[in-house]
């Protein structure tokens, strides 16, 4: 009898458990009677199916992603109108810049979103460098974000004979966003933070103090008259780009589509490797490789674990496969320190089995110049050379110094004297008979 009752209770409990999901689904169903999946049916969907559903709502174009993250209050003045009209008058300019930005923009936007920063800041390199990582200003500011040497060092961007991380896409973006965040914390206002990025925080602080003493407002527009023309136009230029990106057709501009997915990935450098060999292993042209890795100044990539190579995602796999099958040296370069003041480029070329042109090109030695003693230069490896990686202390301390090749100047002067002729009265005259002397 007890066994029979126990069986009945067990069956009843199981029935209730089986009915529970269905009851919950009916309670949650919309009153309109629209079809909806039950909780049981939803749990049966695979994770990949759920991801596809979510991805339907993602932006497919990075431009749309930037627009959706605008967060800096709009500026509306005559300067904004003027710069926007300039883009409308020359629509090809922004289109070309956009094409140049395409390998980098996804990364910049992703980093801004990670930090919770306004996504229109991704457009700042349009103003700074036209998205050219090789850009160099008259003030020696370099890269997409135009860091001067001192500020670059403040944000741990290494600058030595072999590389300049102000040009590196990943390192300089991280430094620029950190700097912008610091400026925003300092001023509590994005237009002023941007003005400080262009003009320097000290100058902006002094301008604020001056207006405070005069009882005037300290917002960007109120401080603009105290700023140099470049800074006064800086924020309006960004606003103009922001307006064009928000509505390209209104300005007659076509923005090339940029896929909302990573363009590149990072690859660890396991040992010194020539740029040309790295590009070959990745099955890329050397120009394509340099566009993603503009920080490397020499034909060889050196450095420790911190040094990374950027490759398009589809080329990274090719790189690893080809590297595993590579049966040759990865680097054909080493360093040599000049100890004597009379060593010529021709002598160096002969010693290392190459040509003077190769030595000059690898070390950016100007024509009619010679190396000063103490200089460290790149030279091709020979069978007698040390085939290890270039040491870290050499990387950080190597310098190259040039001086005019006085020997060549003297030889040229001797050749000129040899061309002189003697007149009938015994006086020497030069073949150049111009009566006018160049003013010095």
User: What would you report as the CA-atom Rg of the chain, rounded to the nearest whole angstrom?
Assistant: 33
Tokens of 206: 């002094």
Question: What pLDDT, on a 0 to 100 scale, did the predictor assign at position 29?
Answer: 38
Any catalytic annotation for residue 392?
no
| Per-residue pLDDT tens digits for 50-86 | 333 434 346 789 999 999 999 999 999 999 999 999 9
Question: What pLDDT, on a 0 to 100 scale, did the predictor assign at position 384?
Answer: 57
Q: Model-level pTM greater than 0.85?
A: no
Q: Which domains does the chain have, with CATH numbers?
A: 62-251 (1.10.530.10), 264-325 (3.10.350), 333-404 (no CATH)
**Alpha carbon distances (Å) from 367 to 98, 403, 412, 426:** 37, 10, 14, 38
pLDDT(417) > 70: no
pLDDT band at 342 (very low <50, low <70, confident <90, very high): confident
HSE, CB side, 13 Å, CA atoms: give it for residue 229: 0
Question: What pLDDT, on a 0 to 100 scale, did the predictor assign at position 402?
Answer: 87
More confident position, 21 or 203: 203
Question: What pLDDT, on a 0 to 100 scale, did the predictor assign at position 42?
Answer: 30
pLDDT(258) > 80: yes
Which of 59, 128, 288, 403 is an active site residue? 128
More confident position, 48 or 185: 185
| Per-residue pLDDT tens digits for 5-43 | 444 444 444 343 344 433 333 333 333 333 233 332 333
More confident position, 9 or 164: 164
Contacts of residue 111, Cβ cutoff 8 Å, sequence gap at least 6: 173, 174, 177
Question: What pLDDT, on a 0 to 100 scale, did the predictor assign at position 372?
Answer: 93
Residue range 143-161: average pLDDT?
97
pLDDT(359) > 50: yes
Residue 365: how many other CB atoms lie within 10 Å = 18
Question: What pLDDT, on a 0 to 100 scale, did the predictor assign at position 73?
Answer: 96
Tokens of 53: 């559903």
Cβ atoms of 146 and 127 closer than 8 Å: no
């Amino acid at each position: 009898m007890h066994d029979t009752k126990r069986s009945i209770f067990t069956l009843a409990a199981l029935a209730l458990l089986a009915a529970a999901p269905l009851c919950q689904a009916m309670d949650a169903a919309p009153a309109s009677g629209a079809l909806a999946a039950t909780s049981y049916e939803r749990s049966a969907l695979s994770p990949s199916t759920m991801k596809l559903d979510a991805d339907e709502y993602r932006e497919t174009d990075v431009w749309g992603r930037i627009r959706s993250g605008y967060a800096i209050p709009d500026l509306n003045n005559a300067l904004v109108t003027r710069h926007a009209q300039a883009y409308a008058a020359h629509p090809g300019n922004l289109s070309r810049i956009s094409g140049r930005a395409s390998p980098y923009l996804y990364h910049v936007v992703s980093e801004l979103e990670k930090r919770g920063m306004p996504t229109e800041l991704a457009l700042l390199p349009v103003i700074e460098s036209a998205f050219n990582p090789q850009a160099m200003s008259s003030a020696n500011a370099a890269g997409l974000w135009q860091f001067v040497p001192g500020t670059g060092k403040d944000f741990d961007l290494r600058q030595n004979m072999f590389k300049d991380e102000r040009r590196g896409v990943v390192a300089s973006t991280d430094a620029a966003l950190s700097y912008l965040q610091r400026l925003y914390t300092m001023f509590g206002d994005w237009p002023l933070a941007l003005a400080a990025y262009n003009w320097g925080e000290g100058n902006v602080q002094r301008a604020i103090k001056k207006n405070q003493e005069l009882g005037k407002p300290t917002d960007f527009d109120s401080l603009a008259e105290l700023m140099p023309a470049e800074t006064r136009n800086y924020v309006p230029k960004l606003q103009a780009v922001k307006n064009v990106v928000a509505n390209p057709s209104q300005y007659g501009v076509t923005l090339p589509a940029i896929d909302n997915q990573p363009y590149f990935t990072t690859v660890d450098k396991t040992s010194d490797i020539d740029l040309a060999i790295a590009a070959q292993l990745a099955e890329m042209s050397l120009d394509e490789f340099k566009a993603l890795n503009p920080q490397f100044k020499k034909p060889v990539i050196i450095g420790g674990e911190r040094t990374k190579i950027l490759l398009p995602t589809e080329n990274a796999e090719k790189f690893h496969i080809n590297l595993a099958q590579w049966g040759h040296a990865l680097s054909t370069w080493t360093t040599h320190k000049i100890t004597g003041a009379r060593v010529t480029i021709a002598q160096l070329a002969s010693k290392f089995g190459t040509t003077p042109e190769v030595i000059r090109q690898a070390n950016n030695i100007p024509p009619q110049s010679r190396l000063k003693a103490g200089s460290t230069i790149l030279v091709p490896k020979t069978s007698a050379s040390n085939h290890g990686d270039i040491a870290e202390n050499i990387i950080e301390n190597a310098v190259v110094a040039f001086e005019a090749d006085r020997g060549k100047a003297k030889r040229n002067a001797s050749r000129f004297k040899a061309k002189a002729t003697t007149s009938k009265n015994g006086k020497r005259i030069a073949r150049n008979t111009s009566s006018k002397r160049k003013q010095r």
